[in-house]
């Protein structure tokens, strides 16, 4: 795949300029931990909101579409989930290139503040019973504001952590973002379950409709304040700093140029296409589990909302635990084998899972959700690292923002709405499973064109290592190490003598 990019962007061949220990970036472990927590908290809050909205979908149908046909009202509510994804590509297209220009941390600070304000705003909206159905308009606008911020949030966090992580463990380090996302969703589902239990026991069965639904959304405000304070202390990505410092070199190769949006499409369209196929499979699988299952189980199977929420929390916590283990495995055996397992897993497991759901028992509910979550764990373990590994450092934030947000908006975020429409139109309760299986099949073909990226330096960056000793070993073995290609690294033309070179 990257060979085509090389033809469009010729880079210098390997020359006498060899990699030196001083060229490598040695990661400061304390700063890495600070970066992981600071970046991960945004994804936690993003998925907290998705969890709250997903598990309150039926309740919010009554709140915001009162007087409308119930089935149409549910579609209107799910459309509110989908509209946030309409503007996600816009957020990625604006905030991504901006992050390549001014830095990752500044954009991440902005997206966090915007997300917290929008989520809190939903909790303050009046109901349709108070002001009429026009309240759907501000609901959609706030969801779109969330979508715009999210367009820069995940791509920025994935880029930031991937650039901060040692090459040999980048999959594991970056996967913690999605572990945090699953915990955030579990926290949102848990908050809905706890709020429902407490308010209904204290004020009756109608308590959630009469105002209890606001509580989970308003919790986003203190969470957002904590996240903003944490992000104020984030260091900048070391790979970005090196690339940014050398971006003004006169004879710089095109691969190291910070491209605008049209040139990103022009030069990196093969990577964008492959990335979109992988994210489409990832997104339809993930959002089926996290955002549509509550609605499906309540409306099609008749599951009790509390049982559904509790089962989802258990499965999502298990998913959060599985993700880093799978990612660590991918650092050892490669990304492509793990993706193959994920796609084949969906093709094999989804139909049995939906069959189990139709049984309507508690044990079948847990087992069905586990079967759906297993392939999702394999996808989510790779997303952050692989999206970052597809593109060079100089244009990485913008490229990841475009690729991830286009695919997740068109295919992932619309999964709840499309799945419900498919069930309504076809009358087939297995229709959502077939929808997800189709995109897994597409991803399996795209995988054939993807180059292996595990444990290699990021394109456009020098190697990132965990110690000076690792840097020395890497330099000594560079002639036989197929993962080292200095033509894709921004190296000074005349390095200092080895004994004088300092390790960054």
State residue 362's pLDDT score.
86
- 373-416 confidence digits (pLDDT tens): 999 999 999 999 999 999 998 889 999 999 999 998 889 878 88
> 3-class secondary structure for 37-69?
HHHHHHHHHHHHHHHHHHHCHHHHHHHHCCCCC
pLDDT at 434 over 90: yes
- Which range, of 40-44, 97-101, 196-200, 252-256, averages the lowest pLDDT? 252-256
Beta bridge partners of 26: 465
Q: How confident is the model at residue 249 (pLDDT cuts 50, 70, 90)?
A: very low
Name the burial class of residue 7, with classes exposed (0-12), middle (13-18) and buried (19+) by CB atoms within 10 angstroms of its CB: exposed
Q: SS3 of 377, please?
A: helix
> 3-class secondary structure for 292-323?
HHHHHHHHHHCCCHHHHHHHHHHHHHHHHHHH
- Which range, of 45-49, 464-468, 499-503, averages the lowest pLDDT? 499-503
pLDDT at 80 over 80: yes
State residue 205's pLDDT score.
84
- 32-59 confidence digits (pLDDT tens): 888 888 888 888 888 888 778 877 888 8
State residue 12's pLDDT score.
39
pLDDT at 246 over 50: yes
State the chain's mean pLDDT as an integer.
86
Closest residue by Cα to residue 397 from 282, 288, 244, 229: 244
Strands (E), 309-406: none
376 contacts 336 by C-beta, under 8 angstroms = no
User: Domain residue spans in the chain?
Assistant: 2-238+253-488
pLDDT at 221 over 50: yes
What CATH code is assigned to 2-238+253-488?
1.20.1250.20
- Which range, of 67-71, 402-406, 476-480, averages the lowest pLDDT? 67-71
- 450-465 confidence digits (pLDDT tens): 999 998 999 888 899 9
pTM: 0.82
């Amino acid at each position: 795949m990257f060979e085509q990019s090389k033809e469009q962007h010729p880079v210098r061949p390997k020359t006498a300029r060899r990699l030196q220990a001083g060229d490598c970036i040695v990661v400061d472990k304390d700063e890495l931990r600070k970066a992981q927590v600071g970046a991960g908290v945004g994804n936690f809050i993003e998925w907290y909101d998705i969890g709250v909205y997903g598990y309150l979908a039926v309740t919010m149908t009554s709140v915001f579409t009162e007087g409308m046909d119930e089935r149409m009202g549910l579609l209107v509510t799910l459309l509110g989930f989908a509209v946030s994804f309409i503007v996600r590509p816009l957020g990625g297209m604006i905030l991504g290139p901006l992050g390549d220009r001014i830095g990752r941390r500044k954009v991440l600070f902005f997206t966090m503040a915007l997300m917290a304000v929008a989520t809190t705003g939903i909790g303050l909206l009046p109901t349709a019973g108070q002001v009429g159905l026009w309240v759907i308009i501000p609901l959609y606008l706030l969801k779109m504001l969330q979508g715009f911020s999210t367009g820069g949030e995940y791509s920025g966090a994935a880029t930031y952590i991937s650039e901060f992580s040692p090459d040999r463990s980048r999959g594991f380090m970056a996967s913690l973002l999605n572990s945090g996302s699953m915990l955030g969703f579990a926290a949102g589902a848990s908050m809905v379950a706890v709020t429902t239990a407490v308010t209904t026991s204290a004020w009756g069965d109608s308590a959630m409709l009469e105002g209890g639904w606001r509580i989970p959304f308003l919790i986003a405000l203190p969470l957002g304040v904590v996240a903003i304070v944490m992000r104020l202390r984030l260091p900048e990505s070391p790979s970005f700093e090196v690339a940014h410092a050398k971006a003004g070199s006169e004879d710089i190769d095109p691969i190291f140029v910070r491209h605008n949006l049209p040139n990103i499409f022009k030069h990196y369209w093969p990577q964008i296409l492959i990335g979109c196929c992988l994210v489409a499979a990832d997104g339809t699988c993930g959002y089926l589990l996290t955002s549509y299952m509550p609605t499906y189980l309540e409306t099609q199977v008749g599951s009790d909302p509390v049982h559904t929420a509790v089962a989802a929390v258990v499965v999502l916590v298990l998913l959060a635990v599985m993700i880093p283990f799978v990612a660590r495995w991918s650092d050892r055996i490669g990304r492509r084998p793990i993706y193959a397992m994920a796609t084949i897993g969906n093709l094999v497991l989804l139909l049995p899972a939906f069959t189990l759901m139709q049984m309507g028992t508690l044990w079948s509910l847990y087992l069905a959700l586990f079967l759906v979550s297993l392939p999702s764990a394999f996808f989510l373990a790779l997303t952050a690292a692989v999206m970052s590994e597809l593109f060079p450092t100089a244009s990485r934030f913008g490229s990841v923002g475009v690729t991830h947000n286009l695919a997740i908006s068109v295919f992932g975020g619309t999964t709840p709405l499309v799945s419900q429409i498919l069930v309504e139109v076809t009358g087939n309760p297995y229709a959502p499973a077939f929808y997800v299986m189709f995109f897994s099949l597409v991803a399996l073909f795209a995988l054939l064109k993807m180059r292996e990226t595990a444990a290699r330096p990021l394109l456009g960056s020098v190697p990132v290592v965990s110690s000076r000793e690792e840097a020395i070993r890497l330099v000594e073995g560079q002639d036989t190490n197929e993962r080292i290609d200095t033509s894709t690294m921004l190296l000074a033309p005349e390095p200092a003598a080895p004994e004088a070179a300092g390790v960054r």
